[in-house]
Amino acid sequence: MTESTHDLLTADDLADIVHASPRTIIRWRSEGRGPAYVKAGHRVLYRRADVMEWLERHKVTPVREVA
Protein backbone atom coordinates (compact mmCIF):
# COMPACT_ATOMS: atom_id res chain seq x y z
CA MET A 1 0.00 0.00 0.00
CA THR A 2 1.40 3.37 -0.92
CA GLU A 3 0.55 6.40 1.11
CA SER A 4 0.41 9.94 -0.11
CA THR A 5 0.51 13.16 1.83
CA HIS A 6 -3.29 13.25 1.42
CA ASP A 7 -3.41 10.27 3.78
CA LEU A 8 -1.80 12.32 6.56
CA LEU A 9 -3.94 14.47 8.83
CA THR A 10 -3.05 17.22 11.26
CA ALA A 11 -4.58 17.50 14.72
CA ASP A 12 -6.88 20.19 13.29
CA ASP A 13 -7.97 17.82 10.50
CA LEU A 14 -8.68 15.10 13.07
CA ALA A 15 -10.60 17.55 15.24
CA ASP A 16 -12.83 18.39 12.25
CA ILE A 17 -13.44 14.70 11.53
CA VAL A 18 -14.46 13.80 15.09
CA HIS A 19 -16.18 17.14 15.83
CA ALA A 20 -13.88 17.93 18.74
CA SER A 21 -11.64 20.86 19.52
CA PRO A 22 -7.95 20.74 18.63
CA ARG A 23 -7.26 21.06 22.38
CA THR A 24 -9.21 17.83 22.95
CA ILE A 25 -7.09 16.05 20.35
CA ILE A 26 -3.92 17.24 22.09
CA ARG A 27 -5.29 16.05 25.45
CA TRP A 28 -6.23 12.63 24.02
CA ARG A 29 -2.72 12.28 22.62
CA SER A 30 -1.11 13.13 25.96
CA GLU A 31 -3.41 10.66 27.74
CA GLY A 32 -2.80 7.92 25.16
CA ARG A 33 -6.52 7.85 24.24
CA GLY A 34 -6.55 8.99 20.63
CA PRO A 35 -5.54 7.27 17.42
CA ALA A 36 -1.94 6.33 16.66
CA TYR A 37 0.18 9.18 15.33
CA VAL A 38 3.57 9.79 13.77
CA LYS A 39 6.10 12.49 14.57
CA ALA A 40 7.65 14.25 11.60
CA GLY A 41 10.18 16.54 13.21
CA HIS A 42 8.09 18.69 15.52
CA ARG A 43 4.87 17.95 13.65
CA VAL A 44 2.34 15.39 14.81
CA LEU A 45 0.47 13.70 11.96
CA TYR A 46 -2.24 11.06 11.88
CA ARG A 47 -2.49 8.45 9.14
CA ARG A 48 -6.03 8.37 7.79
CA ALA A 49 -6.05 4.54 8.00
CA ASP A 50 -5.13 4.70 11.72
CA VAL A 51 -7.91 7.21 12.38
CA MET A 52 -10.48 5.03 10.60
CA GLU A 53 -9.27 1.95 12.52
CA TRP A 54 -9.47 3.85 15.82
CA LEU A 55 -13.01 5.01 15.01
CA GLU A 56 -14.02 1.44 14.14
CA ARG A 57 -12.68 0.17 17.48
CA HIS A 58 -14.81 2.77 19.26
CA LYS A 59 -17.99 1.97 17.39
CA VAL A 60 -20.96 1.23 19.64
CA THR A 61 -23.82 -0.83 18.32
CA PRO A 62 -27.02 0.00 20.19
CA VAL A 63 -28.98 -2.86 21.64
CA ARG A 64 -32.64 -2.70 20.75
CA GLU A 65 -34.99 -3.35 23.66
CA VAL A 66 -37.78 -5.80 23.01
CA ALA A 67 -41.10 -4.54 24.39
| Helix ranges (DSSP H) in the chain | 11-18, 22-31, 48-57
- Give CA–CA dist 65/13, Å, rounded: 37
Domain covering 5-57 in this structure, CATH number: 1.10.10.10
List pLDDT tens digits, range 13-60: 999 999 999 999 999 999 999 999 999 999 999 999 999 999 999 999
Q: What is the pTM of this model?
A: 0.80
- Give CA–CA dist 67/63, Å, rounded: 13
Supply the pLDDT for residue 58.
Answer: 93
- Give CA–CA dist 42/52, Å, rounded: 24
Of 13, 8, 16, 62, the closest CA to residue 39 belongs to 8
Where do the structural domains in the chain lie, given as residue ranges? 5-57
